[in-house]
């Protein structure tokens, strides 16, 4: 089972990201656009792991207060384009708690430096200068009140992400 821990978004955040994608399409950017229902912020990527209940046990020991999170910035890692999430101490601390808990339980996870972003386009291609594109990321924020353990499955029309457990803020 392919697992990751994420913050799921309310409709208004998903709509803002879809608006960004429409701007990208209008500028002639092509590629594999993330489906609106799949938008999320990955906090820890576990990958193939057979025991989601053990992962939930690790997450159940985490407590955090609700906090605000907002969209900020736009960029790319090669041919992958993303919308940014404004860094905050609350978000950094939550990620640290999650990673420490996973590590303490011996659950493997991707240990790359956390860079808060939401993937909006993979395998991007376009003609012209991307710096000249007029791409607008709407100002949106949300209150983070839970984190989710997610399952990732390959479907015939792309990836399908399913929440299989969650931990609420205190």
Query: What does the alpha-carbon distance between residue 108 and residue 46 come to, in Å, rounded to a whole number?
Result: 6
Burial (Cβ within 10 Å: 0-12, 13-18, ≥19) of residue 151: middle
Report the alpha-carbon angle 70-12-6, nearest 5.
Answer: 60
CATH number of 61's domain: 3.90.1140.10
The answer to whether residue 79 is domain-embedded is no
How many structural domains does the chain have?
A: 1
The answer to whether residue 135 is domain-embedded is yes
**pLDDT per position as a tens digit, 94-118:** 999 999 999 999 999 999 999 999 9
| Segment 59-73 mean pLDDT | 95
Q: Is residue 122 part of a domain?
A: no
Q: For 124-168, how does the pLDDT look when each residue is reduced to its tens digit (9 = 90+)?
A: 998 766 666 777 888 999 999 999 999 999 988 888 999 999 999
Residue 54's domain spans which residues? 2-27+39-72+85-116+127-168
E strands in the chain: 2-8, 30-33, 40-48, 67-77, 80-85, 117-125, 141-144, 146-155, 158-168
Does 80 reside within a domain?
no
pLDDT given for residue 129 in this prediction? 66
* pLDDT for res 81: 94
């Amino acid at each position: 089972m392919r697992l990751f821990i994420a913050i799921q978004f309310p409709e208004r955040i998903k709509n803002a990201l879809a608006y960004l994608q429409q701007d990208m399409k209008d500028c002639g950017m092509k590629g594999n656009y993330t489906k609106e229902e799949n938008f999320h912020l990955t906090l820890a990527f576990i990958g193939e792991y057979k025991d989601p209940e053990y992962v939930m046990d690790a997450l159940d020991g985490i407590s955090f207060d609700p906090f605000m999170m907002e969209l900020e910035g736009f960029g790319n890692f090669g041919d992958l384009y993303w919308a940014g999430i404004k860094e905050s101490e609350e978000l950094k601390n939550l990620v640290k708690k999650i990673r420490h808990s996973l590590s303490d339980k011996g659950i493997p996870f991707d240990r790359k430096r956390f860079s808060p972003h939401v993937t909006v386009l993979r395998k991007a291609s376009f003609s012209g200068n991307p710096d000249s594109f007029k791409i607008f990321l709407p100002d949106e924020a949300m209150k983070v009140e839970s984190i989710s353990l997610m399952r990732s499955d390959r479907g015939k029309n792309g990836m399908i992400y399913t929440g299989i457990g969650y931990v609420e803020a205190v």
